[in-house]
Amino acid sequence: MTNSEKEQRLKSLKDIEVPEISDTAKRRALGLAMAAFDQNQQTTKKTSAAPQGMSEPVRPTSIINWIRGQFSMNARFPIAATMTGLLLLPVGVFLFQNTSLTPLAPLGFSNDRKEAAETDKVLDTRTDGLALNGAVADPAPLNTQASPMPEIRQQALDEAPAAERARTELAPEAETMVVPSMVKQAPLGGIVAPPSPMPGMDNKGYMVRDTAGGDQFAEFSENVVKAVTDEPVSTFSIDVDTASYAYVRRALNEGRLPNPNAVRIEELVNYFTYDYSAPTDIESPFAPTIDIVATPWNTDTQLMRIGIEGYVPADVGRPPVNLVFLVDTSGSMNAPDKLPLLKQALTLLVDQLGENDKVSIVAYAGSAGTVLEPTPATDKAAIVNALNNLGAGGSTAGAAGIELAYQLAEQAKIEGGVNRVMLATDGDFNVGISSNDALKNFIEDKRKSGTFLSILGFGSGNLNDGLMQTLAQNGNGSAYYIDSFREAHKVLVAEAGSTLVTIARDVKIQIEFNPALVAEYRLIGYETRALAREDFNNDRVDAGDVGAGHTVTALYELTPVGAQRQLIDPLRYGETVELEGGAVDTNELGFFKLRYKLPDENTSRLIETPITTEMVHESLGETSDDMRFAMAVAAFGQKLRGSVYAGDMAWDDIRALAAGARGEDRQGYRAEFLTLVDLAASLSGN
């Protein structure tokens, strides 16, 4: 075709009548273009990273709106508008497929998509079964090799709280703590005070130290060896908390050794259950088990294990429970392993409740509010819906939340039942508390009225472990650290009875050693639970509580009289050792005492039994799997803390001792411990 012919045909086009385009045709054309774009993005998403600065590949609707606007602009020119729109549709699709359009990233997140992806990957793999979209996945198998924590994750943890606060201040409407219609403001007064900095609570004078990651732990020194001639009596409160073990596990799985002050050896040992003599009478809820054998890390000493198991009611339903979930919704909870995991954990607990139980929910951030009035546990839909409506944002006013939670607990109090506030938080109580003493006194008063407090800790980078421990101890409750969905299931499903139902209060142990047979002793762990000798018989002194089926283990390292090496030389001018009555009983190594109160009583009861040489085993092979495994866990804790008493027991020796004592291990917790020993050995350079 010649040029003149082409020109003639083009001129003839102006005489062609263009049919009117219907609205249906317009929508169809636009829909086809958008569908083509979406299909292309699905393919691109599988094969390439998202454009820089975009959390996911998205369709920039501003250009689509501009194209759609061309159809209707200037109705005086329908033909031009129609032709323009049709011509721009393929151009728009081309632009979407081939142009990196980068919207502004929300405050609090990196603009570098690669860094954000790596950070999400680290956080996601550490939630152990928690998907970012709230779905539950099967727990991933434990990694047997240490994987160093990327610097970008630490940067994200350091920057996120400040950025989150900035985002909340700049656009408070973007984050909603709860559905507005469900919120009731907390009453004025009480112990709420103007904001003041609060780094943490001291525990019997222990200082609080910040770790490099921002978590805080009460600093304490390990128990030292004591001469029986100087201090023949040892007294302490039992401890059934397990928060330390879960935190240590998380640290090791993240490729870092835990802060030594995060390692409380008794909580590592008590994380596991042991087969002790089970009592059959609620009036005598404990039957102590005592064993003694050579210490695996010191040939000059012996290790004494004391074990008790709490009574479990047989063929009788548990008492009704009145629970108040006090949920931290501050900005620091805006992380996959915090508020989302918290919601899943509490949903698990709700599934365990029955027709006689009640649930209330209080949320606190910039202010405290009632999310759910006392509701029968059978209305699970309402409870779960209230939990799912919670969102993170704002600073933390913990005191106001605690006050309101106790008010709801009192409002729905069940006489003869379990009345408990369950505080779920990352431990950040930095706003709204007048003083440490005021908060502790408030919780103690509520404890006396029959309402107890338990703590569920979440996340890292902002954890205030020292404060959580103090609140739980003063509230007659336990402190747990939920690092994964699996741990939530352990605490709130598998061990729900011991978590919720208290069978004995203020449980104390006291041992008097016989100086004729025992030269020295050292209590392993329980540093933050030490009591004065006179506290044992004082029923006004608070101590730990035991739940139904709880097992409690305590370990002493003993140096027999006549051992080749003693750490403390005998006094040159010391008095001759004589027992009361003037005679030395060569069969008794010591005397064991245990005091406890039944839940509805204020006067303690006493259990006592002699510790005799008949309890000594000739070799480790004669002891039970439970005893050998507890010894391995204690040795593990000592090495993590850098204890001067750890001896020369290597990581391989600890692993071998534990591996030979796994027993049935139906839940796999002991097998998991072996992996943690491997990780600790790698991170220690051994």
Q: Is the pLDDT of residue 663 over 90?
A: yes
* pLDDT for the residue numbered 157: 38
Residue 138 token pair: 């099967």
Distance between CA atoms of residues 75 and 475, nearest Å: 73
Average pLDDT over residues 167-194: 33
The answer to whether residue 589 scores a pLDDT higher than 60 is: yes
3-state class of 55 per DSSP?
A: coil
Residue with the bigger pLDDT between 613 and 213: it is 613
- Least confident residue range of 212-221, 357-366, 456-465: 212-221
Q: What is the DSSP string of 599-621?
A: TT-SS-EEEEEEEEGGGB-SSGG
Look at the chain and count its residues.
Answer: 686
Residues of the chain above pLDDT 90, percent: 43
Q: Would you place residue 412 in the very low, low, confident or very high pLDDT band (cuts 50, 70, 90)?
A: very high
For residue 288, what pLDDT is reported? 92
* Residue in the structure block whose two tokens are 């339903």: 317
The continuous run of DSSP H or E covering 368 comes out as: strand 368-376
Is the pTM of the predicted complex or chain greater than 0.75?
Answer: no
Rounded Cα distance between 373 and 156, Å, is: 37
Structure tokens at 547: 């739940």
E strand or H helix that includes residue 5: helix 3-12
Indicate whether 329 pLDDT > 60: yes
User: Checking phi first, is residue 391 left (phi over 0); if not, alpha (psi -120 to 50) or beta?
Assistant: beta
**Res. 347: pLDDT tops 50:** yes
Q: Which residue intervals of 294-397 are DSSP H helices?
A: 339-351, 380-388
pLDDT of residue 18: 58
Q: Are strands 289-294 and 302-309 parallel, antiparallel or unpaired?
A: antiparallel
pLDDT score of 330 more than 80: yes
Q: Can you tell me the distance from the alpha carbon of 142 to that of 122, in angstroms, rounded to the nearest whole number?
A: 14
Assess whether pLDDT exceeds 50 at residue 526. yes
What average pLDDT does the segment 423-438 reach?
67
Q: How far apart are CA 562 and CA 546, in angstroms?
A: 38
Confidence of residue 295 (pLDDT cuts 50, 70, 90): very high
pLDDT at 643 over 70: yes
pLDDT above 50 for 173: no
DSSP, collapsed to helix, strand or coil, labels residue 376 as strand
Percent of the chain with pLDDT over 70: 64
Cα angle at 348 between 177 and 499, to 5 degrees?
105
Closest CA to 129 of 488, 529, 518, 497: 488
- pLDDT of amino acid 109: 26
If one compares 447 and 680, the residue with the highest pLDDT of the two is: 680
Which strand (E) or helix (H) includes residue 560? strand 551-560
H-run or E-run covering 323? strand 321-328
Contacts with 279 (C-beta within 8 Å, 6 or more apart), sequence order: 285, 286, 287, 309, 310, 311
| d(C-alpha 501, C-alpha 598), whole Å | 12
Checking if the pLDDT of 458 tops 80, the result is yes
Q: What is the mean pLDDT of residues 657-674?
A: 96
pLDDT at res. 648? 87
Q: What are phi and psi of 469, to 5 degrees?
A: -65, -40
Angle at 311 between CA 306 and CA 312, to 5 degrees: 135
Instruction: Give the closest residue to 272 by CA, choosing from 670, 672, 677.
Output: 670
CA distance 390 to 236: 40
Residue 630 has pLDDT above 60, yes or no: yes
Q: What is the pLDDT of residues 556-584, one digit of tens each?
A: 999 999 887 888 887 767 655 555 554 45
Sequence-ordered list of residues with C-beta below 8 angstroms from that of 174, at least 6 positions apart, any chain:
167, 168, 393
pLDDT at 176: 33
**Residue 535 — pLDDT band, cuts 50, 70, 90?**
very high
Q: Quote the pLDDT of residue 440.
A: 78
- Residue 558 has φ and ψ, to the nearest 5°, of -115, 140
pLDDT of amino acid 149:
34
What the block records as the tokens of 245 is: 């073990």
Report, as an integer, the average pLDDT of 363-391.
89
Express each pLDDT in 598-624 by its tens digit: 888 899 999 999 999 999 999 999 999
Which pLDDT value is given to residue 40?
60
pLDDT at 323: 96
Q: What is the pLDDT of residues 29-68, one digit of tens each?
A: 666 666 666 556 555 444 444 333 333 333 333 344 334 3
Burial of 84 (0-12, 13-18, 19+ CB in 10 A): middle
Most confident of 393-402, 490-499, 583-592: 490-499
State the CB neighbour count (10 A cutoff) for residue 668.
12
pLDDT band at residue 94 under the 50/70/90 scheme: very low
pLDDT at 401: 81
Average pLDDT of the residues of the chain: 75
Span 464-489, average pLDDT: 88
The DSSP annotation for 16-41 comes to: SPPPPPPHHHHHHHHHHHHHHHHHHH
- Which ranges constitute the DSSP H helices of 392-461? 398-411, 436-448
Confidence label for 112 from pLDDT (cuts 50, 70 and 90): very low
Residue listed under structure tokens 């602009």: 73
Q: Are 386 and 371 in contact (CB under 8 A)?
A: yes
Own/partner contacts of 84-88, CB < 8 Å, gap of 24 or more, are: 85/26, 85/29, 86/29
Gap between the Cα atoms of 375 and 182, Å rounded: 13
Is pLDDT at 156 greater than 50 in this prediction? Answer: no
Longest Cα pair distance anywhere in the chain, in angstroms? 134
Per-residue pLDDT, 145: 37
Give the burial class of 331: count Cβ atoms within 10 A of its Cβ; 0-12 exposed, 13-18 middle, 19 or more buried: buried
Structure-token match 């979930």, residue found: 325
Best-predicted range by mean pLDDT (66-75, 108-117, 409-418, 637-646)? 637-646
Q: Give mean pLDDT, residues 409-436.
A: 79
